[in-house]
Each structure stands twice: as C-alpha cells, then as structure tokens.
Amino acid sequence: MPLNATSAAILSHLNASAPDMSAIGPVEFRAYSAQMVQPADPADRIVTHDVDAGGVPARIYRRAEAGAAEPVLVFYHGGGYIACGIDSHDRLCHRLARLAGCAIVSVDYRLAPEHVFPAAVDDALTALRWVAAHGADHGLDTSRIAVGGDSAGGTLATVTAIRARDEGGPAIRHQLLFYPGADMVGETASAREFGQGYFLDKDFSELCISAYIADPADRAHPWASPLRTPDLSGLPPATIMTPECDPLRDEGDHYAQALRGAGVPVDYTVYPGVFHGFVSMFGVVAEADQALNDAAAALGTALGTAAGTGRE
C-alpha cells in the first residue's frame, strides 16, 4: 500500500524543509537534525542520570517507582553514524522504558566523520560490557540484558550481539532492531523503490556511509554489514521491525531470513503505510504506537517483566 495519510503529510513537510544533501556535509546535517529534538513526556515518570560507561557517555532510564534491580535494554540511537545522540532519542527511551517495564541505557557512541569505523562499533561493545560489569551499582539486573536500536543503531545492536558471542560475552537475551541496515554493499528492490523522497534518500545514505567508512572495502566488513557475517548461529532471539516504505525494508527481511536460517528465533514485522524513522513519531503516527507496544511486549517476554507476562 502507499503511505497512509498521516505519514504522507509528515513526509511532505520533512521533504519541504530538509536541506540540500548535495550541498551539506555530515557536521552541518548534525546541526540541522539537532533542531528537531522533542522533549520527553513527563507522564512517563522516568528518572534518568548520566554516566561514564567505560569512557563512553550514556544515560540510564528507570521508572520512578522501580525498587528492585530492573532488567536492562542497552540502546543505540540511529542517525546514519553522523548525527543524533542521547538527546535525540530521549523521548523514545522514556516511552519504551515505561511500556516495557525495564531500564534502558542509551549509548552516546562516537560519530563520523570525526571518528570513523569501527569507532562506533567499539564504543557499542565497551558500553555493553560496562553495563554488565557495573550496572548493578545503578539498579540494573545484569543477568537480564537486551540490546537494541533504530536504523544505524539497530545495526550496532546486532553487531554488538555478534561480537559479544565471539569475544567472551556478556550474555544477551534479546535483540530489538528497528529498521536496521544489514548490508552496505548490495542493492535491494526496496532501496530502488524508496530511495528518493522517502526520508532516507540514496544521496543521504551515501553521505553517511562515506563519512563513516573511510576505506570503501570495509563496507563489506561484517561489523558494517552484519548480513555478511559468516556464521549467525548462537545469537540471541531477535525482534526486527521495518516500515513498508523504507529503503532498508528488504535488508531487514533478508537479515531476518539469514538469522532464521542459522537457527535464531526471529519475529519480523513490516508496518504498512509508514516510512523510515516512524517509531520516533509515536503519539502522531498510529503505527508507531503499535510498534512500541509490540517492542515492549517482546522485551517483556525476553526479560521477564510485566510487559511480557500480562501483570499490572
């Protein structure tokens, strides 16, 4: 189906106000995107505090009423490896922590072009290991850890799960991947169909990848293109969510198929009529609210919180 009416209206506004990607660089885009940060909803009743996660800035989110240690989602934000950060995804992390009934640690990994691949990948693993080693000091149940993220952050989440499997842990219970990139080399039907005018334009993607990957040969590296990982077996179960009108839709589909082929349980959902980045539009786009509810249920089941058991 085409974009629904709400998504079409939002996309029309975004396209009209977006800068010319042929005349802007990564740092300029970062400044532009920072203007679109929205405040969190106080009704979520989330308490936050910032920490140094082994040299990587991070923010911990816990429900105001939480007493005992809570299981935790280590979250990596999107932004094409060149933009966004803790503040851009603050509203999303507030809501997801509330719905899922778990703590969240949002990771402010280094950005390109100042810090090229694999800086973000290394920061992602460093932060995860800090959570496992020191999270108990901050009210986190480090025996129940999930990883997740959106777009580039979804890629970092699954790459971190792969590295944790291969490099001595820590143990991860689940992967929550919102429209992750899975292959920087191949081209899919959805990339051709939605590569222009659907928010994540082909030119913008190339801007991001070129800034992030200094050596073009590294685009095929499994840490940049997890679909090219030789062995995906033994990874934690995954929830993968993609919008229908997204250049990355088929990458999410192909990655889900590859994980299943390796024996990894996967719940893969395509949300109709919406475009890349839609999950952050909860409260306006109905599919975003549905996706967050679905994500919360998946996390709740994996981490053993009320969101997964039906308890109030």
Query: Catalytic amino acids?
Result: 151, 246, 276
| Cβ neighbour number for residue 17 with a 10 Å cutoff | 10
Give Rg (Cα) of the chain: 18
Cα distances (angstroms) measured from residue 151 to each of 36, 55, 263:
17, 24, 24
The span from the CA of 300 to the CA of 312, in Å, is 12
The span from the CA of 167 to the CA of 44, in Å, is 36
CA 198 remoteness from chain centre: 19
Could you give the residue ranges of the DSSP H alpha helices within 35-139?
90-100, 119-134
Strand partners, 174: 146
Residue type, 254: H
| Cβ neighbour number for residue 165 with a 10 Å cutoff | 18
Residue 305 in contact with residue 102, Cβ under 8 Å? yes
